[in-house]
Amino acid sequence: KAGVTQTPRYLIKTRGQQVTLSCSPISGHRSVSWYQQTPGQGLQFLFEYFSETQRNKGNFPGRFSGRQFSNSRSEMNVSTLELGDSALYLCASSLAEVYEQFFGPGTRLTVL
């Protein structure tokens, strides 16, 4: 069974631009979560989707948004990029409820 895939793996943008990251969960997984990982702040929860509905949202500004499609694939969007948005963005999927999360390799975003 294929694991969680994220595209692109690396991305370089400039301040003020916007970016869209994609995540394909493991087949059959309906829950997708997004995290931002930085050396200073560690792993911070962005949001979580289940069956196309956002169930939880972390403490991030409105520039960060996401969505989930009917096939459980998810995208997150960051508008008006800032230097501080440079980070590794991780996507994780799970079956539901008690099941652990399986992580993708991440997308490394660099904002210049």
Partner 1 sequence: AQTVTQSQPEMSVQEAETVTLSCTYDTSESDYYLFWYKQPPSRQMILVIRQEAYKQQNATENRFSVNFQKAAKSFSLKISDSQLGDAAMYFCAYRSSWETSYDKVIFGPGTSLSVIP
Residues 71-90 that bind partner 1 (CB under 8 A): 88, 90
List beta partners, residue 12: 110
Assess 56 for contact with partner 1 (CB under 8 A): yes
Which residues, including other chains, have CB under 8 Å from residue 98's CB and lie 6 or more apart?
Answer: none
**Residues 10, 55: Cα–Cα separation, whole Å:** 28
Residues 11-40 that bind partner 1 (CB under 8 A): 31, 33, 35
Q: Which residues bind partner 1 (CB under 8 A)?
A: 31, 33, 35, 42-43, 45, 48, 50, 55-56, 88, 90, 92, 94, 96-98, 100-106
